Structure formats: C-alpha cells, structure tokens
Structure 1
Amino acid sequence: MPKPSRILHITERSLWEAARERGAYEVSTRGRTLQQVGFIHFSTREQLPRVAAFLYGAYDGPDDLVVLVVDPALLDAPLRYEAVEPDGEEFPHLYGPLAVTAVVDVEPWR
C-alpha cells in the first residue's frame, strides 16, 4: 500500500499556536505529550474522521480544533506506520517532535 503524500494531526488551536512560537509541536494525542507516549499520533485523510470522533467526539473545550497537514518529506524525526492492534489498521507515528516547518497547511475542523 503506498504511503500518503500528506499525514494529518487534529489538535486544539492554542496548542498549535504555542508550538509555532517554540518551533516544534510535542503533543501526542489529546491530553498526552510526546514524552509520555513516545511518539506523535497522526492519521491519513481517510482515518481522520474516525480519529476525530474518538478523541474529540463531544468536544466542549475553549478552543477551536484544527488539522495540521504535514508533508512527511519535511520531517526530521522517524515516521513509522504501525498497527494499534496485531494485524490491525496502520497509523502514522512520528518518533520525535514535529518541526513546525513540516506543517504545510492548517485546516479548521468542521
């Protein structure tokens, strides 16, 4: 299966804005950091609606949600496609901070 030309990460706008100031994004998933988990969770365009529903289904936070669109060719940390369950669907995982320069677009989430 060919790897997508872009990978996606849904997050809160304030977390992304803070990362832009620091130059790197280090949130793995909602409420968990890269340091806690060991990698940053990403998804493909097709996986994103399910991931968003799972993480933010009844989101009532003070912040808008945004989707970071990342070009894997611009990453400076290892990217691996891994299944959460044995023989399950593979998701992209970034094993290091996400350089803000690898983010080629930021889309509003519905």
Structure 2
Amino acid sequence: MTVGGEPMIYHITTERGWQIAREMGEYRAYSLKNEGFIHCSTLEQIPKVVDAFYQNQPDLLVLAISPEQLQSPVKWEQPQHPNPENATLELEKETFPHIYGAINLESVVFVKPLEELLNS
C-alpha cells in the first residue's frame, strides 16, 4: 500500500505500547533507546518478522506508517538482530526500514491487530 509516492512501512507493537503512544503524543519503541532506531518492515516482510520474533505473542498491533508524513528520518538497512546467533539467513539478505526517532502520530495511517492484517 502506498500513500503519496512512497510505500507504507509497518511496525509491530503491543496494545499497551500503542496506548502509551496515544497518551504521550508520539510513539517510541524500546529499541529507540537501546539501538537508536525503531525496527519496521514492508508489508511483505511482516510474516517473516512475526515468525522470527513474535511467535505466540498475543495482542499485537501493526502500525501502518506513511514515510511522507513521518517527521523522523528513515534509513533502509540490513537487519540488526539482537541475538545474531539466532538470526535467520533469509532475513539477513533483505533491507528493512529503520526509523531514527519517534513516530509522530499523524504519520500513522491505520492500526490493525496483527492477526487481522495477516488474514486479510
């Protein structure tokens, strides 16, 4: 899906994480403090990311983000796996969007439960 000229990027979070973002006026993932960026993916990459990092986790949401409305910079980079020994070779061959800063809420086009997005 695209908005304007750029394809949307997606971030998986918890319901609580999204609730905090709405209260604070912006979204900040734990990785922003630890790694300096927020991990995102394309729509096509979501199933692989879920298989690698989010199996059996309930109540996950997907934020669909418009890069054109995003105030923080986005860089497309190879994955930086928190546990390199567990990294899948398939994911290492791809580049992923990393957001270097908070996600302003105006850039979030829609929020859907992960299961709903995967089944649509």
- The CA RMSD measured in Å over matched residues stands at 1.8
1:56 aligns with 2:21: no
Q: Aligned residue for 1:107?
A: 112
Unaligned residue ranges in structure 2 (runs of 5+): 81-91, 116-120
TM-score relative to the length of structure 2 = 0.77
- Aligned 8 A contact 2:6 2:68 in 1: no
1:84-99 mapped onto 2 (5 Å cutoff): 84=79, 88-99=93-104
- Aligned 8 A contact 1:77 1:98 in 2: yes
Moved over 3 A (4+): none
1:23 aligns with 2:25: yes
- Aligned 8 A contact 2:11 2:40 in 1: yes
TM-score relative to the length of structure 1 = 0.83
**1:12-56 deviations in whole A, cap 9, x for unaligned?**
0111011011011111xxxx3311110000000000011112221
The alignment-based identity, stated in percent, is 40
Report how far residue 4 of structure 1 moved.
Answer: 5.1
- Aligned 8 A contact 1:4 1:44 in 2: no
**1:75-97 deviations in whole A, cap 9, x for unaligned?**
11110100127x83100000001
Unaligned residue ranges in structure 1 (runs of 5+): none
Aligned residues, how many?
A: 100
1:67 aligns with 2:62: yes
Matched residues in 2 for 1:100 and 1:53: separation? 27
2:96 partner letter: F
Q: As a proportion of its length, which structure holds more strand?
A: 1
Q: Aligned residue for 1:40?
A: 38
2:26 partner letter: A
Matched residues in 2 for 1:4 and 1:45: separation? 13
Q: As a proportion of its length, which structure holds more helix?
A: 2
